[in-house]
Structure 1
Amino acid sequence: MSWEFATLGAYGLSLLRDCSELNQLSAHISELTDHVAKARLRETELTERVARWVEYLREEKEKMLKRGNSLYATGTLSAIVSDDIEYNISMLMKMRERVDKKLLEIKQRRKEHKYQLKEMKNEMLLMHHQLVEWDKKYDEISDITKRMNVSRKQLQDRIKEQQQKETAAKVSQFFFIKTTKIQELLVEL
């Protein structure tokens, strides 16, 4: 029976270790969630910056047209702005891909964690039921042991009493035989 408790103890330690790993994974998920939130903030800032650049350039273009600047200067500025916008859009797309990848990873880990927690809960319930069963068996064995100890004590008392009776009978028989022999010897004399 002690091996069952030892096995249960080792199993309990294993479950505690698993819970610790789950807590570490949960902390890692929180960290990843923070990274995703920061990436989204950066994405929003870049989008706003691009929008401001577009607005600024449009205003500059309108100013240049109003002033009557040459088409060449406008074309050069437009090319520069276009390159800058293209670069910012490319950066936004890369950022979006990284954010989506992190989100997918977080969703996957959440599913795994939910499944692991469910499995651990089922194992804990099973262990609880086993402990209840073992407690019942232990109580039954304790009762049987107590009754056996009482029976053994009673049996020992009876054996002791029987031995005392047998010893008393042997002593009285011995004295009877000796007394008879002494009487026979006295009669012969």
Structure 2
Amino acid sequence: MNSQRHSGRLDPCAGTVRPAQAGFGLVDIVIAIMLMSILAGMAVIGISSVLPAMKTDKAMQEVVAQLRQARNMALAQRRNIELAFSGTNQVEIIRIEEPDNTPNVISTLTLGNKCEFINPDQIPMDTPDGFGNTAAIDFGDAEKLIFSSEGILVDESGDPVNGTVFVGLPDEPELARAVTVLGSTGRIRGYRWTGSMWTAK
């Protein structure tokens, strides 16, 4: 009695041959897992390279926000508002209370994510504003920094003063950020170092 080979299975009820159902084999599953692992690894590497830049961007934005808050308070309250940079990562807003000129700390910003004020000695050029790059906090010879009630940044003598605050991660100059202040108008601007030039943020 001759028999025939079929690529399907015999349906005992209908007496007919059904085609075999397609599906994923073990090899297909292993290949899919390997591809997903490779893609996940690439994603982790990408995030790891971007994360430090995100940290320094955030630090720059925090300094910009703190300085703008101080200037806005000076304008709104018609008071002198002093800025005090302390340690390697703090900026205080100090309101000078009348009538005895008592200092009152209103706000303290502490940079996070291991960011701090950094010395720009490894960066070959100043920001486009050209306010100085000889120190992490460079406002020339000013001993005090005060936003006047007109929103102007002045020194202890009442003279307008320009300056720059450099922030970033230690030993990573390629991730440097800068915040500049134009004293005569109180304009505050952030910059990002690209490795070859400063770009406004």
The structure that is strand-richer by fraction is: 2
Give the TM-score normalised by the residue count of structure 2. Answer: 0.25
* Structure (1 or 2) with the larger CA radius of gyration: 1
Q: Which has the higher contact order (CA 8 A, sep 6+)?
A: 1
